[in-house]
């Protein structure tokens, strides 16, 4: 009786944890600072994922600037000292979003600062407007790691792939195929070589996760090994092409100039790969613990996990399809 109750609690926890991922989709709130004169900026929101009225975003996401600056939306005046000190966005945790501050200096340089609910503030120095290459590299690598870390749909897909890749060799081959595929479409879409509408892409990405869940459940019920089991790298490559468009949408939110795009694209992709490698490494480290849980609670807990993945994916799918027809 106790074991059955424990199984039920674990299964319910899996479902609830999966469903809660919905509130943490990988979108950024992007605040732009345009320097009009030395120490004077005009601010505007380029992306406010949780707010329809951009002017209302100043109340929900509260910009933070150095003490010597005076902020009267949309004007920011920092005087002779310039924009030097701590900048950030308060309220990211409440809205469940990441933040980006894009500073367009009069020198023509653009600086991109990535923010999270745990690190909502960063420091800007007087030398920032020179736009050093190292600062740009670190900023976009961090943005890539942040995107994959908040992209629960991408992580859930990678988790599904790892379920089919039983050996180290198969896992390496599968993740490599996924990386190559989404890098191709990320680069192509970011450079404008080919484009797909974002809403349908996001919906089909959810379906790709549901597809893996169906394959996993079918095997658990005694079905014959599927193509995904025999060649997980093939599913990883085909669906990876689609996921690349999802990654590209995050970079497109920044509306970067053509001059800044190549370096940003390279570093953002490196950040995505770094985040993906860290996630896969965590999965590998957790495999022995998962085997212990499965032995203790029985195969039902694994089946419940697969159903939780599929249920979450279909919830995302229907929610994203409903966005095709926004309410008036």
Tokens standing for residue 103: 């500073």
Q: Read off the pLDDT band of 7 (50, 70, 90).
A: very low
**pLDDT value of residue 133:** 63
User: For the chain, what's the residue count?
Assistant: 328
Q: What rounded mean pLDDT belongs to the chain?
A: 82
Query: Which range has the worst mean pLDDT, 66-80, 131-145, 226-240, 275-289?
Result: 131-145
Query: DSSP assignment, residue 255?
Result: -
Please, are residues 102 and 128 in contact by the beta-carbon 8 Å criterion?
no
Question: Could you give the CA distance from residue 155 to residue 158 in angstroms, rounded to a whole number?
Answer: 5
Q: What confidence tens digit (pLDDT) does each residue in 276-302 have?
A: 999 999 988 988 888 888 888 877 888
Whether residue 18 has pLDDT greater than 60: no
The pTM of this model reads 0.77
Question: Could you give the CA distance from residue 122 to residue 101 in angstroms, rounded to a whole number?
Answer: 10
Query: What one-character-per-residue DSSP string does 126-182 give?
Result: TTGGG--HHHHHHHHHHHHHHHHHH-HHHHHHHHHHHHH--SHHHHHHHHHHHHHHH
Whether residue 8 has pLDDT greater than 50: no
- Of 21-30, 200-209, 285-294, which one has max mean pLDDT? 200-209
Whether residue 77 has pLDDT greater than 90: yes
**pLDDT value of residue 290:** 83
**pLDDT value of residue 297:** 82
Question: Could you give the CA distance from residue 49 to residue 165 in angstroms, rounded to a whole number?
Answer: 35
**pLDDT value of residue 6:** 43
What mean pLDDT is predicted for residues 114-125? 85
Q: Read off the pLDDT band of 26 (50, 70, 90).
A: very low
Tokens standing for residue 224: 């014959």
What mean pLDDT is predicted for residues 49-70? 77
Q: Which of 186, 187, 150, 148 is nearest to 271 (CA)?
A: 148
**pLDDT value of residue 50:** 58
H or E element, residue 99: strand 98-104
Q: Where are the domains of the chain?
A: 2-24+151-322, 28-132
Whether residue 150 has pLDDT greater than 70: yes
Question: Could you give the CA distance from residue 280 to residue 183 in angstroms, rounded to a whole number?
Answer: 17
Q: Which of 246, 60, 50 is nearest to 147 (CA)?
A: 246
**Residue 306: how many other CB atoms lie within 10 Å:** 21
Contacts of 319 (CB under 8 A, 6+ apart): 22
What mean pLDDT is predicted for residues 126-133? 61
Q: Read off the pLDDT band of 317 (50, 70, 90).
A: very high
The helix/strand count (H/E) of the chain reads as: 11, 9
Whether residue 140 has pLDDT greater than 70: yes
Q: Read off the pLDDT band of 239 (50, 70, 90).
A: very high
What mean pLDDT is predicted for residues 178-187? 92
Whether residue 263 has pLDDT greater than 90: no
Q: What confidence tens digit (pLDDT) does each residue in 56-65 have?
A: 667 778 899 9
- Of 43-52, 138-147, 261-270, 271-280, which one has max mean pLDDT? 271-280
Please, are residues 158 and 178 in contact by the beta-carbon 8 Å criterion?
yes
**pLDDT value of residue 218:** 86
CA 205 to chain centre: 13
**pLDDT value of residue 203:** 92
What mean pLDDT is predicted for residues 30-49? 88
Percent of the chain with pLDDT over 90: 30
**pLDDT value of residue 262:** 83
Q: What confidence tens digit (pLDDT) does each residue in 300-310 have?
A: 888 888 898 99
**pLDDT value of residue 65:** 95
**pLDDT value of residue 22:** 46
């Amino acid at each position: 009786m106790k074991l059955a109750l424990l199984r039920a609690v674990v299964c319910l926890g899996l479902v609830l944890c999966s469903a809660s991922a919905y509130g943490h989709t990988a979108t950024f709130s992007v605040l732009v600072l345009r320097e009009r004169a030395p120490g004077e900026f005009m601010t505007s929101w380029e992306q406010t994922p949780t707010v329809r009225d951009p002017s209302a975003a100043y109340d929900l996401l509260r910009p933070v600037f150095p003490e010597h600056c005076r902020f009267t939306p949309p004007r920011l005046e920092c005087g002779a000292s310039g924009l030097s000190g701590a900048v950030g966005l308060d309220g990211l945790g409440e809205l469940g979003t990441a933040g980006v501050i894009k500073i367009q200096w009069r020198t023509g340089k653009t600086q991109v600062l990535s923010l999270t609910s745990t690190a909502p503030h960063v420091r800007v120095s007087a030398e920032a407007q020179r736009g050093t290459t190292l600062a740009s590299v670190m900023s976009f690598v961090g943005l890539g790691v942040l995107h994959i870390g908040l992209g629960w749909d991408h992580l859930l897909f990678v988790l599904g792939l790892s379920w089919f890749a039983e050996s180290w060799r198969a896992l390496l081959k599968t993740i490599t195929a996924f990386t190559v595929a989404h890098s191709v479409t990320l680069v192509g879409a970011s450079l404008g070589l080919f484009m797909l509408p974002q809403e349908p892409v996001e919906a089909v990405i959810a379906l790709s996760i549901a597809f893996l869940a169906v394959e996993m459940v079918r095997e658990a019920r005694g079905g014959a090994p599927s193509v995904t089991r025999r060649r997980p790298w093939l599913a990883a490559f085909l669906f990876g092409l689609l996921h690349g468009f999802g990654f590209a949408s995050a970079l497109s939110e920044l509306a970067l100039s053509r001059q800044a795009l190549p370096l940003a694209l390279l570093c953002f992709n490196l950040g995505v790969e770094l985040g993906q490698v860290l996630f896969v490494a965590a999965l590998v480290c957790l495999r022995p613990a998962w085997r212990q849980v499965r032995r203790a609670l029985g195969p039902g807990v694994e089946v419940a996990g697969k159903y939780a993945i599929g249920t979450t994916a279909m919830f995302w799918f229907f929610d994203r399809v409903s966005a095709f027809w926004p309410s008036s």
